[in-house]
């Protein structure tokens, strides 16, 4: 039998594959809970292969996710396995380890503590929260990453010395004291949530995939079962919409922040295999608000993550605006909280009011910079409102031109397929080119006027084009007074609802609960002449503004 001429090559090829697999770096973390003088802390021991030259960098940023001085959360960082010296460099985000050369492994120990006083403050949610009953830490605050790992690594976690009844839950598994993630992308690893303690964890099955809801505390306005039902509905509907049931594990976490008697603040962040959120736990945090928050952030699993922007800020009108549109559209279509057409049109009218009453309503797209977006609320609202209204227009236009054979949904699926197959991102030229496939006329000029230049749409003409009923008056939010940085009312608008309610110049604002949808009165606590009092009123005014009639033929809206 003749000798196989490829046998040697195949043998070498298999060896090379084995070597490539063996070259994936390893890192091990041992995480344990320690209590000193009634103060709870987290100890982490990290073991990995260091640089052969005797100097290895560990990444732990002093500034991340809007937080500063994160090094205040670290104490007693030291090398365990060998004599070594650690030098912190706040500006670079690296900790430098000097150690003997050509070590096979080195171990570093550090202790993580909470550096804020209260349990969980809304403005400090991106800092470590470590209490006796629970902990809540984002991955980049919990794990140091050595430079030797490059982009991919095998990551092992071992949770030690935690009580048996202590929940361990994170972006990679639930109640597993030993975890191993092979070929883990480190960008994904450092964008994760880790929590434990008295959290309650509820499993939800979505098409045989594992979804979990984790929460703690006694919520005043809703039951755990209501959130489980909400998430089950929302996740099922969104995955069905995208025809995407590929995610085997996902978790949503909801934590109560420091108590506020009035007002309601909700926060959420889309992370690896997860969405973490927090909210004030009082009567003002209603289920409807969480329905919006969850649907919006879950939609980012596709819009903004898989279908990504070519230039992040430049396409915020897409990643945030189109997400906003599909959030409201999907809530209405899936009838979450029994919402329907009236909900959808009411939300669209709020978007219109926000855009058309803003002083920045016609700012060009290039004025929306990273600094403006994160620093000025009116700039942050702009791409949400502008993009959502543009998405509504394009949805209606595609349906009309195609005689209801297609809709914006088809275009979105094209974006998803291109992103997966070729890595295509959303640029303005690409967007217009793909949209033109579904339109009778070139979109270029319209896109340039209303997205690039920021010109407001002529709503009456557009609603008439699509045979939608509309009115020309609207109730819009109007606080009715101005106040200084130290919350002293400086002026009260004449004939405003605030004046009618009794606000006066010089009143000091102590607490407030503001409702923009006028479903219930806003309540503001003030101090006047040393005496406290509470004023309830509806902060609105009537103006000339085109709005959709809230009751519309459902077939005309594509719901």
Average pLDDT over residues 149-161: 92
**Residue after which a domain boundary falls, among 468, 498, 520:** 468
pLDDT at 42 over 90: yes
Strands of 249-257's sheet, edge to edge? 200-206, 209-215, 249-257, 274-280, 266-271
> Residue 8, class by beta-carbon neighbours within 10 Å (0-12 exposed, 13-18 middle, 19+ buried)?
exposed
Query: In the chain, what percentage of residues exceed pLDDT 70?
Result: 92
Average pLDDT over residues 84-104: 78
346 to each of 184, 342, 518, 550, how far by Cα in Å? 44, 6, 12, 6
What CATH number corresponds to the domain at position 514? 2.30.42.10
492 lies in the same domain as 435: no
39 lies in some domain: no
| Per-residue confidence (pLDDT) for residue 410, from 0 to 100 | 97
Same domain, 328 and 460: yes
pLDDT band at 19 (very low <50, low <70, confident <90, very high): very low
Is 99 or 299 the better-scoring residue by pLDDT? 299
Give the gyration radius of the chain's Cα atoms.
27
Q: Could you tell me the pLDDT band of residue 6, with boundaries at 50, 70 and 90? A: very low
User: Which tops the pLDDT comparison, 137 or 63?
Assistant: 137
| DSSP secondary structure string for all residues of 106-148 | EEEEEEE---SSSS--GGGTTS-EE-SSEEEEEHHHH--EEGG
**431/519 same-domain check:** no
| 20 lies in some domain | no
pLDDT at residue 63 in the model: 84
The DSSP 8-state label assigned to residue 448 in this structure reads I
The DSSP annotation for 414-438 comes to HHHHHHHHH---B-HHHHHHHHHTT
CA 309 to chain centre: 16
| Domain match, 486 and 528 both | yes
Examine the domain organization and report whether 328 and 412 are in the same domain.
yes
Binned at pLDDT 50, 70 and 90, residue 185 comes out as very high
The alpha carbon dihedral of 149, 155, 156, 159 has a sign of positive
Bigger pLDDT: 38 vs 497: 497
Residue 118 or 35, more confident: 35
Alpha carbon 226 to chain centroid distance?
Answer: 21
Specify which residues 404 forms β-bridges with.
none
Cα–Cα distance list, 121 to 127, 198, 259, 266 (Å): 9, 18, 9, 12
Backbone CA torsion sign across 139, 257, 222, 324: negative
Q: Which one is predicted more confidently, 336 or 128?
A: 128
Considering the domain boundaries, does residue 321 fall inside one? yes
Residue 363 lies in a domain: yes
pLDDT band at 286 (very low <50, low <70, confident <90, very high): confident
What is the pLDDT, as a whole number, of residue 468? Answer: 94
Across the chain, what does the average pLDDT equal? 89
- Across 491-516, b (16+ Cβ under 10 Å) vs e yields ebeeebbbeebebeeebbbeebbebe
CA 473 to centroid of chain Cα atoms: 34
What does the pLDDT read at residue 262? Answer: 62
Q: CA-CA distance, 125 to 310, in Å (whole number)?
A: 29
**375 and 511 together in one domain:** no
pLDDT > 80? residue 106 = yes
**Which of the listed residues 442, 468, 494 is the one where a domain comes to its end?**
468
Judgement on whether residues 502 and 456 belong to the same structural domain of the protein: no
Whether the pLDDT of residue 202 is over 60: the answer is yes
pLDDT above 80 for 22: no
Distances (CA, A) of 275 to 116, 125, 187, 201, 456: 23, 14, 16, 14, 34
CATH number, domain with residue 442? 1.10.390.10
List strands edge to edge, sheet with 85-89.
85-89, 94-98, 55-59, 145-146
Same domain (yes/no): 373, 393: yes
Q: What is the pLDDT of residue 259?
A: 62
Q: Could you report the per-residue pLDDT of 345-386, keeping only the tens digit for each? A: 999 999 999 999 999 999 999 999 988 888 888 899 999 999
* Overall average pLDDT of the 332-344 stretch: 84
What is the rounded distance in angstroms from the CA atom of residue 422 to the CA atom of residue 111? 43
Where does 272-420 show beta strands of DSSP type E? 274-280
Q: Alpha-carbon distance 129 to 139, whole Å?
A: 12
- In a domain? residue 339: yes
Residue 430 and residue 504 share a domain: no
**389 and 432 in one domain?**
yes
Q: Does one domain contain both 436 and 326?
A: yes
pLDDT at res. 93: 75
Neighbouring-strand partners of residue 193 = 138
135 within domain boundaries = no
Looking at the 3D structure of the chain, how many domains does it have? 2
* Same-domain check for residues 485 and 419: no
At 175, give phi and psi (nearest 5°): 55, 45
Enumerate residues 6+ apart whose C-beta is below 8 A from 375.
none
Residue ranges of the alpha helices (H) in 204-304? Answer: 224-242, 287-299
Taking the C-alpha atoms of residue 159 and residue 179, their distance in angstroms, rounded to an integer, is 9
Domain boundary among 426, 441, 468: 468
The mean per-residue pLDDT over the stretch 338-344 comes to 83
Task: Please give the residue that has the higher pLDDT: either 293 or 118.
Answer: 293
> Residues of the chain with pLDDT > 90: what percent?
61
Residue 459 lies in a domain: yes
Q: Which residues span the domain enclosing 528?
A: 479-538
pTM assigned to the model: 0.82
Q: What pLDDT was estimated at residue 122?
A: 64
**Of 26-40, 206-220, 513-527, which range is least confident?**
513-527
Confidence at 261, pLDDT banded by 50, 70, 90: low
Indicate whether 414 belongs to any domain.
yes
């Amino acid at each position: 039998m003749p000798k196989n001429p490829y046998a040697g090559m195949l043998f070498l090829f298999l060896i090379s594959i084995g070597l490539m697999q063996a070259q994936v770096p390893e890192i091990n973390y041992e995480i344990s809970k320690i209590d000193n003088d009634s103060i709870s802390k987290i100890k982490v021991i990290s073991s990995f292969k260091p640089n052969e030259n005797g100097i290895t960098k560990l990444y732990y940023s002093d500034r991340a996710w809007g937080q500063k001085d994160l090094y205040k959360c670290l104490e007693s960082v030291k090398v365990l396995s060998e004599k070594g010296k650690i030098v912190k460099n706040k500006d670079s985000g690296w900790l430098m380890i000097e150690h003997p050369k050509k070590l096979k492994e080195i171990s570093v120990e550090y202790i993580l503590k909470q550096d804020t006083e209260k349990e969980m403050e809304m403005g400090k949610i991106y800092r470590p929260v470590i209490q006796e009953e629970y902990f809540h830490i984002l991955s980049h605050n919990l794990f140091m990453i050595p430079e030797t790992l490059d982009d991919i690594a095998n990551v092992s976690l071992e949770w030690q010395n935690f009580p048996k009844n202590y929940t361990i839950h994170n972006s990679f598994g639930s109640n597993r004291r030993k975890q191993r993630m092979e070929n883990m992308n480190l960008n994904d690893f450092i964008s994760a949530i880790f929590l434990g303690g008295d959290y309650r964890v509820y499993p939800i099955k979505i098409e045989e995939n594992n979804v979990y809801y984790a929460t703690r505390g006694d919520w005043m306005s809703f039951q755990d079962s209501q959130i489980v039902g909400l998430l089950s509905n929302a996740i099922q509907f969104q995955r069905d919409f995208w025809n995407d049931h590929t995610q085997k594990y996902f978790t949503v976490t909801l934590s109560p922040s420091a108590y506020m008697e009035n007002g309601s603040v909700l926060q959420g962040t889309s992370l690896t295999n997860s969405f973490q959120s927090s909210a004030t736990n009082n009567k003002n945090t209603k289920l409807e608000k969480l329905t919006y928050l969850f649907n919006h952030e879950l939609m980012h699993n596709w819009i903004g993550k898989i279908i990504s922007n070519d230039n992040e800020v430049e396409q915020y009108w897409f990643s945030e605006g189109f997400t906003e549109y599909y959030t409201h559209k999907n809530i209405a279509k899936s009838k979450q909280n029994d919402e329907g057409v009236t909900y959808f049109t009411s939300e669209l009218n709020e978007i219109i009011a926000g855009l058309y009453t803003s002083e920045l309503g016609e700012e060009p797209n290039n004025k929306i910079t990273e600094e403006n977006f994160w620093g000025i609320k009116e700039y942050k609202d702009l791409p949400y409102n502008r993009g959502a209204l543009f998405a509504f227009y394009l949805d209606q236009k595609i349906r009309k031109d195609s005689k209801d054979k297609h809709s914006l949904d088809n275009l979105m699926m094209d974006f998803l397929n291109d992103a997966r197959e070729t890595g295509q991102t959303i640029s303005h030229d690409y967007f217009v080119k793909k949209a033109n496939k579904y339109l009778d006329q070139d979109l270029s000029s319209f896109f340039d006027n209303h997205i690039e230049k920021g010109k407001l749409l002529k709503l009456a003409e557009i609603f008439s084009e699509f045979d939608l009923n509309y009115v020309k008056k609207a109730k819009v939010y109007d606080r009715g007074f101005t106040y200084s940085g130290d919350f002293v009312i400086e002026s009260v608008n004449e004939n405003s609802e605030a004046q009618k309610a009794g606000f006066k110049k010089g009143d000091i604002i102590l607490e407030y609960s503001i409702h923009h949808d006028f479903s219930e009165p806003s309540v503001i606590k003030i101090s006047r002449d040393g005496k406290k009092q509470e004023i309830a009123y509806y902060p609105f005014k009537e103006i000339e503004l085109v709005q959709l009639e809230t009751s519309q033929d459902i077939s005309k809206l594509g719901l």
